[in-house]
Amino acid sequence: MRQVKLMAAGCSDYIIRTQSTGECLSTLEMAAQSLASSEDRTELRELLVKRLHMVCTYQVDNEAVEHQSKEFRIKHQQYPNRLVNV
């Protein structure tokens, strides 16, 4: 099977989970992006990711915390320091 790399535009809409980098997307987002690209129907991505938005909005409204990527937090010195062996 050939390897394919899908370049997504923008950051993940899955705001309640920390991703490794800003370019990482959830499985649902990648499936939606792949289908929209392969079918040449850009509206499919938004249609398929709509439920993800609803889940995230519900969780944020019920005190879940929005997350930045690990890469963003390290770059802005917001990532907890790791323990260092002395």
Query: What pLDDT is stored for residue 41 in this prediction?
Result: 95
Using a pLDDT cut of 90, give the percent of the chain over it. Answer: 12
Q: In this predicted structure, what is the pLDDT of residue 23?
A: 72
- C-alpha torsion sign, points 27, 33, 37, 41: positive
How far apart, in whole angstroms, are the C-alpha atoms of residue 25 and residue 52? 12
Q: Report helix angle 43-61 to 27-39, nearest 10.
A: 160
pTM more than 0.85: no
pLDDT of residue 83: 46
Instruction: Please say whether the beta carbons of 29 and 53 come within 8 A.
Output: no
Per DSSP, 86 falls in state: -
What digits encode the pLDDT tens for the residues 42-79?
Answer: 899 899 899 888 888 888 888 766 666 677 777 877 76
